[in-house]
């Protein structure tokens, strides 16, 4: 009995000796550094001081309240940021976006960082005239560059004039249960991309809800350092809405993009698209877009279990060399793509499209559609689409196709397994239009 008591006392003593060290890494509260939580005065310097004071493993707590920022916040490695459920990091439009062009939350060359807690990162407003390229572009909502082992979970991001959440040339990423909101394209004054994965590897994205003006979820390479491929990306159980493209691979392909699996995705029409969108109805241009424009290869891609409730074009492939960025004659590749269990309830105009730079060196190869159903409500007669010629690669740039099921150019190897196409708009277009550059098509593959 005495030995048991002695052992218990020793264990308790050892725990108490360790406890102060553990507790010191749990609460580093920004209000303890003077951060105003009423939104009356700027809290930027105070929050940054609290970040700078964090030691490896520390937790930074941003409690409930409104924290007004006049500049961005720069994170350190080996820290956790808890943005409380009713906490708002509120950007001042003039200073954060116009004067400083900051990211609201920035991680550059950091590792082992988590952001969580249910709070909100708010851009303050969507003022930016995105079509005026003479203006300096603002920063992002949350951005990590050249970083690793990053988790962003259970965070809301809204009203960002540029990309809401952006990862550049980073690896080992978890993005889970984030909600992103921005208004429609709105004559170039709407929100930009929702979630961008640029030149990253080993990425898990799940349970996200994204509704923005530009591309909702975009996987591509970075123009900042084109030597980073994008690979081993897993996307599941997400809901996407956009007035541009919903799920997109490209536009940028300055390195290879491969080993991508996206599954259990719902694509909706934007709930408040406004006016002045690329598609007058406010639908997304393409629900799924897979593109190579910049001389590199896109391959080993699987999209399965997609429900597309409304779109302008359900599935879009393009292969070209954007001559403004590449040496003449250099062309990328698209191959080994599977789209399975895709149900497009309403396409307002276009069929599935494969478009190509005519007489290009490479064709799109080995594409399989399995259990794909397309309901096309277009009423137009349609035309043969113009060739890709270095223009911006969207499905509304080359005309309305004269088929209601599939229109293809520059394709070698297409299998259709249990696929159904419906001319619900009564356009009386052909089901399939394959031009002379298309070969090895099996419309009843097993």
Domain ranges of the chain: 163-442
pLDDT band at 93, cuts 50/70/90? confident
Residue 343 has pLDDT above 80, yes or no: yes
Give the length of the chain: 446
The β-bridge relationship of strands 142-145 and 165-168 is parallel
Contact of 137 with 102, CB cutoff 8 Å: no
Using alpha carbons, select from 71, 181, 189, 212 the residue that is nearest to residue 128. 189
Residue 210 has pLDDT above 70, yes or no: yes
Residue entry with tokens 């190579």? 292
pLDDT tens digits, residue range 150-171?
999 999 999 988 899 999 999 9
DSSP-assigned letter for residue 100: S
Section 278-306 average pLDDT: 96
pLDDT confidence of residue 223: 84
pLDDT confidence of residue 226: 82
Section 302-315 average pLDDT: 98
Residue 25 has pLDDT above 60, yes or no: no
Contact of 69 with 36, CB cutoff 8 Å: no
Residue 17 has pLDDT above 60, yes or no: no
More confident residue, 444 or 130: 444
Give the distance between the most distant pair of CA atoms in the chain.
Answer: 93
pLDDT confidence of residue 383: 96
pTM metric for this prediction: 0.92
pLDDT confidence of residue 274: 84
Burial class (CB in 10 A: 0-12, 13-18, 19+), 16: exposed
**Is 372 in a helix, a strand, or coil?**
strand
Q: What is the dihedral of CA 325, 327, 329, 334, to 10 degrees?
A: -50
The β-bridge relationship of strands 209-212 and 245-249 is unpaired
Gap between the Cα atoms of 343 and 101, Å rounded: 41
Least confident span in 10-14, 46-50, 127-131, 216-220: 10-14
Gap between the Cα atoms of 393 and 399, Å rounded: 12
pLDDT confidence of residue 328: 66
Where helices occur in 116-223 by DSSP H, the ranges are none
pLDDT confidence of residue 378: 97
pLDDT tens digits, residue range 227-253?
899 999 999 999 999 999 999 999 999
Residue 3 has pLDDT above 60, yes or no: no
More confident residue, 13 or 129: 129
For residue 370, list its beta bridge partners: 340, 417
What kind of fold does domain 163-442 have according to CATH?
A: Pectate Lyase C-like (2.160.20)
Using alpha carbons, select from 281, 263, 250 the residue that is nearest to residue 346. 281
Per-chain mean pLDDT for the chain:
90
Contact of 341 with 305, CB cutoff 8 Å: yes
DSSP-assigned letter for residue 288: E
pLDDT confidence of residue 95: 83
């Amino acid at each position: 009995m005495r030995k048991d008591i002695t052992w218990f006392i020793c264990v308790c003593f050892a725990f108490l000796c360790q406890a102060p060290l553990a507790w010191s890494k749990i609460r580093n509260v920004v209000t303890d550094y003077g951060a105003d939580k009423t939104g009356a005065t700027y809290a930027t310097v105070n929050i940054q001081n609290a970040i700078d004071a964090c030691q490896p493993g520390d937790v930074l707590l941003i409690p409930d309240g409104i924290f007004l920022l006049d500049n961005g916040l720069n994170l350190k490695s080996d820290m956790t940021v808890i943005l409380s459920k009713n906490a708002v990091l509120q950007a001042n439009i003039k200073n954060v976006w116009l004067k400083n062009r900051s990211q609201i939350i920035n991680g550059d060359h950091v590792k082992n960082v988590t952001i969580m807690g249910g709070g909100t990162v708010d851009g303050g407003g969507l003022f930016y005239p995105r079509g005026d390229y003479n203006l300096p572009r603002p920063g992002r909502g949350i951005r990590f560059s050249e970083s690793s082992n990053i988790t962003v979970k259970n965070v809301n991001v809204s009203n960002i004039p540029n990309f809401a959440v952006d990862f550049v040339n980073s690896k080992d990423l978890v993005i889970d249960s984030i909600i992103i909101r921005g208004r429609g394209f709105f004559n170039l004054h709407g929100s930009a991309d929702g979630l961008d994965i640029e030149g990253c590897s080993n990425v898990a994205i799940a349970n996200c809800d994204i509704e923005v003006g530009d591309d909702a979820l975009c996987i591509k390479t970075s123009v900042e350092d084109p030597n980073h491929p994008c690979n081993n990306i897993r996307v599941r159980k997400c809901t996407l809405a956009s007035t541009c493209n919903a799920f997109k691979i490209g536009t940028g392909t300055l390195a290879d993009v491969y080993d991508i699996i996206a599954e259990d995705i719902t694509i909706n029409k934007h709930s408040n698209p406004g006016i002045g969108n690329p598609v007058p109805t406010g639908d997304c241009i393409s629900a799924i877009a897979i593109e190579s424009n910049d001389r590199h290869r896109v391959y080993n891609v699987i999209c399965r279990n997609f429900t597309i409730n409304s779109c302008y074009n359900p599935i879009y492939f393009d292969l070209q060399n954007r001559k403004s960025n590449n040496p003449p004659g250099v062309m990328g590749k698209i191959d080994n793509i599977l789209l399975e269990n895709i149900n497009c309830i309403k396409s307002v105009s276009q069929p599935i499209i494969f478009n190509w730079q005519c007489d290009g060196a490479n064709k799109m190869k080995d594409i399989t559609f399995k259990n794909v159903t397309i309901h096309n409500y277009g009423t137009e007669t349609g035309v043969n689409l113009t060739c890709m010629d270095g223009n911006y690669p969207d499905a509304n740039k080359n005309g309305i196709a004269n088929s209601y099921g599939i229109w293809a150019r520059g394709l070698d190897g297409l299998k259709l397994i249990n696929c159904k196409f419906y001319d619900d708009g009564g356009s009386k277009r052909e089901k399939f239009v394959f031009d002379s550059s298309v070969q090895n098509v099996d419309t009843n593959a097993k």
